[in-house]
Chains A and B, each alone.
Chain A
């Protein structure tokens, strides 16, 4: 049952052409399933990443891979659960390495020579940046190297750079013809290069409600149908189920929230007590719940978690201020049809 209802099971079958649906539909669905092929494998996590970083990332995922559209969803984990998971993924860490300025200087030259910037961004460092889109799978999965010093075990990075596939057999990172001293120099540059302070991320300013009339057709086409519906669908229509936001998934209980139709959204969602409540009812901050979750996602992207509110869309970029303005205007106007 768990396998049958699991998102990945059906989505994998769709990608592989095994799902029982007309070819026309399969082709359309395949074009939507980009993220599934670009989920970083967990193979070798324990040999490369820091346990504390993995724990914090599980509790409050940040954007590690700038060219990847989706990010790790913020799951329903307690700190103790995140601790346990991080401990399982990273059972032990390599002893830390210490680098000299000379190694870092040599590493900088190597960074340019090996063209690391073809895939990696290195925010804040005096180094080249990758070209803009279109991103291949390897570019999409390339992490921002500015995070390496908090994310990667310093004692493991040189080994990884020398032979990525030895640490992680399915790694997309190519193996460069470099020896151990060069790999160590590159690690020194990545872990110690001065980083210019980056301005703190702030959510986009909120737009005032629109004065013109906003109807369901417009808000549905631009927001609900385009973004929300995939996880908050109508189970009676879907060939799989209603998605994790309706029938449950990703460790979340089914909330019964259907954002695919006017009546569906008006029918609200089940709360923790199992009782339905309107997604337009006001939360502690006075915002309608629906709006609060959209705004919370903007804050999550700046590294702030709103207690008790899970930002939506889960694991995807926040809606633009204009789209949030559209939703807010529609709600304030009494949700016209």
Chain B
């Protein structure tokens, strides 16, 4: 079999049929894209973030439908956030937020991202934490923190800022909502118990 035929055969076998080439981009049709985004969202729900990133179409594939493209970008960013690529995730959340100013899901993720964004200076850390807290506090006041991960982010931020009671309140909401307790910070009593165990006896 000639090399050309082999390449052609490979293209037929491996290229998704539900796609339309256009210059250097291959557009996925709506049905295929919807299936991929839905599978990726499910993977994120199940905590399988690497899998979600593998499912979502990357270059040269592009989702044609604008709404689905936004959903895909959002799902990718959530997976990135959970895997520690906070910078990239935050860029996406902020870009999407420009089109949906009062979207609690995006605002929760932005607050979570700001609280986790590395900072080289104490002053930078303080600014990021203050902004994250401002968003979280507003959402909490309106009961619009959208999931356990959001409450966990608020609990951790408050703990870092020395607000243990506030942290416990947020952790408690997290535990009520979470599919798995591992999502949430431990209760203060558990943390104290763990700290006592770790103290070396003299």
Q: Flag whether B36 is at the interface (Cβ < 8 A).
A: no
Q: Flag whether B105 is at the interface (Cβ < 8 A).
A: yes
Specify which chain B residues have a CB less than 8 angstroms from the CB of A266 in the assembled complex.
104-105, 144-147
Specify which chain A residues have a CB less than 8 angstroms from the CB of B143 in the assembled complex.
268, 278, 280-281
Asked if residues B147 and A277 are in contact (CB atoms below 8 Å), the reply is no
Q: Flag whether B103 is at the interface (Cβ < 8 A).
A: yes
A96–B38 alpha-carbon span in the complex (Å): 61
Q: Of A59-67, A118-126, A231-239, which binds chain B? A: A231-239
Q: Flag whether A80 is at the interface (Cβ < 8 A).
A: no
Q: Mask for B60-75, Cβ within 8 A of A = 1, else 0?
A: 0000000110110000
Q: Of B7-15, B79-87, B176-184, B190-198, which binds chain A? A: B176-184
A270–B142 alpha-carbon span in the complex (Å): 12
Specify which chain A residues have a CB less than 8 angstroms from the CB of B145 in the assembled complex.
266
A235-B177 CB under 8 A given contacts A275-B102, A276-B144, A278-B143: no
Quick one: closest B residue to A337, CB to CB?
A: B179
Q: Flag whether B97 is at the interface (Cβ < 8 A).
A: no
A5–B177 alpha-carbon span in the complex (Å): 36
Question: Which of B34, B103, B105, B177 interacts with A337 by CB under 8 Å?
Answer: B177
A215–B67 alpha-carbon span in the complex (Å): 29
Q: Flag whether A251 is at the interface (Cβ < 8 A).
A: no
Specify which chain B residues have a CB less than 8 angstroms from the CB of A280 in the assembled complex.
143
Q: Flag whether B120 is at the interface (Cβ < 8 A).
A: no
A22–B17 alpha-carbon span in the complex (Å): 14
Asked if residues B177 and A268 are in contact (CB atoms below 8 Å), the reply is no
From 236 to 282 in chain A, residues with beta carbon under 8 angstroms from any chain B beta carbon are 236-239, 262-264, 266-268, 270, 275-278, 280-281
Asked if residues A267 and B105 are in contact (CB atoms below 8 Å), the reply is yes
Min Cβ gap A299→B in Å is 25
Min Cβ gap A111→B in Å is 53
Specify which chain A residues have a CB less than 8 angstroms from the CB of B176 in the assembled complex.
333-336
Interface of B is mostly: helix
Q: Flag whether B92 is at the interface (Cβ < 8 A).
A: no
Q: Flag whether B30 is at the interface (Cβ < 8 A).
A: yes
Contacts between the two chains (Cβ within 8 Å), count: 68
Specify which chain B residues have a CB less than 8 angstroms from the CB of A267 in the assembled complex.
103-105, 144, 146
Specify which chain B residues have a CB less than 8 angstroms from the CB of A337 in the assembled complex.
147-148, 177-179
Specify which chain B residues have a CB less than 8 angstroms from the CB of A334 in the assembled complex.
173, 176-177
Specify which chain B residues have a CB less than 8 angstroms from the CB of A21 in the assembled complex.
31
Asked if residues A276 and B177 are in contact (CB atoms below 8 Å), the reply is no
A214–B37 alpha-carbon span in the complex (Å): 27
Quick one: closest B residue to A334, CB to CB?
A: B176
From 9 to 46 in chain A, residues with beta carbon under 8 angstroms from any chain B beta carbon are 21-22, 25
Specify which chain A residues have a CB less than 8 angstroms from the CB of B68 in the assembled complex.
236-237
Quick one: closest A residue to B78, CB to CB?
A: A263
Asked if residues A268 and B104 are in contact (CB atoms below 8 Å), the reply is yes
Min Cβ gap A59→B in Å is 32
A276-B104 CB under 8 A given contacts A268-B142, A337-B178, A337-B179: yes
Quick one: closest A residue to B173, CB to CB?
A: A334
Quick one: closest B residue to A217, CB to CB?
A: B179
Min Cβ gap B96→A in Å is 10
A238–B38 alpha-carbon span in the complex (Å): 12
A268–B177 alpha-carbon span in the complex (Å): 16
Asked if residues B31 and A22 are in contact (CB atoms below 8 Å), the reply is yes
From 195 to 254 in chain A, residues with beta carbon under 8 angstroms from any chain B beta carbon are 215, 234-239
A281–B143 alpha-carbon span in the complex (Å): 7
16 new A-B contacts, CB < 8 A, other than A262-B147, A266-B145, A336-B177, are A22-B31, A236-B67, A236-B68, A236-B70, A237-B71, A262-B146, A266-B144, A268-B104, A276-B102, A280-B143, A281-B142, A333-B176, A335-B177, A336-B176, A337-B147, A337-B179
B: which residues have CB within 8 A of A?
30-31, 34, 37-38, 67-68, 70-71, 102-105, 142-148, 173, 176-179
Instruction: For the complex of A and B, list the 7 residue pairs with the smallest distance between their C-beta atoms, beginning with the closest.
Output: A334-B176, A236-B67, A278-B143, A337-B179, A266-B146, A267-B104, A263-B146
